[in-house]
Amino acid sequence: MSGGAEDPEAVTGEGSPWEEQPGHIASSLELALREGERAAQDPQNALLGPGEARRTGERSPWQGRYCLVCQHTFRTGDRVKLCPECQQAYHADPSAGLPCWTDQFQEPGAECRGEGCHYRPPEEELRQEIAEAEELLAKRAQQSGGKVTEVAKEFMQALDEAEQGAELAERLSQREATSGQSPWWRTTCHVCGHTFRTDDIVAGCPCVPPCSAKFHEDVFANMNCWSALLAGGYDKCPGCGRPIPGIAARAAQPSSDSSN
Per-residue pLDDT of the chain (260 residues), as tens digits, is 444 444 544 444 555 444 555 556 666 666 666 666 666 667 667 677 778 999 999 889 999 999 999 989 999 999 999 999 999 999 999 988 899 999 999 999 999 999 999 999 999 999 999 999 999 988 887 766 544 556 556 655 665 555 455 555 667 766 555 555 566 666 889 899 999 887 788 888 777 777 878 888 887 788 888 888 888 878 888 888 888 776 644 444 444 444 44
Label residue 26 exposed, middle or buried (CB < 10 Å: 0-12, 13-18, 19+): exposed
Q: Are residues 137 and 157 in the same domain?
A: no
* Residue at 5 is within a domain: no
User: What does the pLDDT read at residue 124?
Assistant: 95
Q: Are residues 102 and 156 in the same domain?
A: no
Q: What are the residues facing 82 on neighbouring strands?
A: 89
> Does pTM top 0.75 for this prediction?
no
Q: Are residues 116 and 151 in the same domain?
A: no
* Residue at 28 is within a domain: no
Q: Are residues 81 and 134 in the same domain?
A: yes
Q: Are residues 135 and 188 in the same domain?
A: no
Q: Are residues 160 and 233 in the same domain?
A: yes
Q: Are residues 104 and 165 in the same domain?
A: no
* Residue at 10 is within a domain: no
Expressed as residue numbers, the domain containing 160 is 146-253
Q: Are residues 151 and 249 in the same domain?
A: yes
User: What does the pLDDT read at residue 253?
Assistant: 46
Per the CB < 8 A criterion, the answer to whether 104 and 90 are in contact is yes
* Residue at 171 is within a domain: yes
Instruction: Give the whole-angstrom CA distance, residue 202 versus residue 113.
Output: 31
* Residue at 32 is within a domain: no
Q: Are residues 192 and 132 in the same domain?
A: no
* Residue at 55 is within a domain: yes
User: What does the pLDDT read at residue 250?
Assistant: 47
Number of domains forming the structure of the chain? 2
Among 110, 143, 176, residue at a domain's last position: 143
User: What does the pLDDT read at residue 65?
Assistant: 94
Q: Are residues 128 and 216 in the same domain?
A: no
Q: Are residues 152 and 134 in the same domain?
A: no
Which pairing describes strands 54-55 and 214-216: parallel, antiparallel, or unpaired?
unpaired
Instruction: Quickly count: other Cβ atoms within 10 Å of residue 224's Cβ.
Output: 18
Q: Are residues 198 and 243 in the same domain?
A: yes
Among 143, 177, 206, residue at a domain's last position: 143
